[in-house]
Homo-oligomer: A and B are copies of this chain.
Amino acid sequence: MGARIIAIATSNKHKVEEINNILSGCGYRVEPVNVPKIEVQSASLVEVATFAAATAYHVLHRPVIVEDAGLFVEALNGFPGPYSAYVYKTIGISGLLRLLEGESNRKAVFRSVIALAHRGGVEIFTGETRGAISLEPRGSQGFGFDPVFVPLGETRTFAEMSIEEKNRFSHRGRAAKKLCEWLTREQVL
């Protein structure tokens, strides 16, 4: 009798081999299938915010906003990206700076997505700010990686700016301005 086959949603052939090595002992085998595996971990900021806002609306039954942001460092291939909050909580600012020790390319982009869920659907507003990762943390305002992000054309980090100043440059400020314009124009909320 041949092995019974179960589909496995992966493109990683090592996983398939390792699992089949065990399953051969009980008469089964897995075979990769080409289903688009929904990897929620690799969801983009837009997907994350859209999903979270739609879910929150479903619970609250009233208009609700979710804002999600990420810091994308060029020399680190976009790391920490959509996982910035998790990375901040685990390796922190010191970990990020360590990964960039001796690196001359300090370019980074902060991106913000605001998802507004309401009766008419989910609206998305995005903002981004280009800048660089400083050599040392500076400032105590803001949160997250603000102490090491210097927006293009500035010498101070986000954490050295008041909310008003940061909002002039910031990814979140830009997304919030678009939200403001939409609210003013649509007059539905």
Output the least CB separation between A4 and chain B (Å): 7
Interface flags, A77-103, vs B, CB<8A=1, else 0? 111111101110111000100110100
The number of chain A residues touching the other chain, given as a range, is 35 or more
Asked if A67 and B172 make an inter-chain contact with CB atoms under 8 angstroms apart, the answer reads no
Asked if A67 and B19 make an inter-chain contact with CB atoms under 8 angstroms apart, the answer reads yes
A133 at the interface (CB under 8 A from B): no
Complex CA–CA separation, A34 to B51 (angstroms): 17
Asked if A81 and B76 make an inter-chain contact with CB atoms under 8 angstroms apart, the answer reads no
Most chain B Cβ neighbours within 10 Å, of A4, A47, A83 = A83
Output the least CB separation between A158 and chain B (Å): 10
A41 contact set on B, CB distance < 8 A: 40-41, 43, 48, 82-83, 85-86
Chain A residues in contact with chain B, CB under 8 A? 4, 6-10, 12, 14-15, 17-19, 21-23, 25-28, 30, 33, 35-43, 47-48, 51-53, 55-56, 59-60, 62-67, 76-83, 85-87, 89-91, 95, 98-99, 101, 114, 116, 142-143, 163-164, 166-167, 170, 172-173, 176-177, 179-181, 183-184, 189
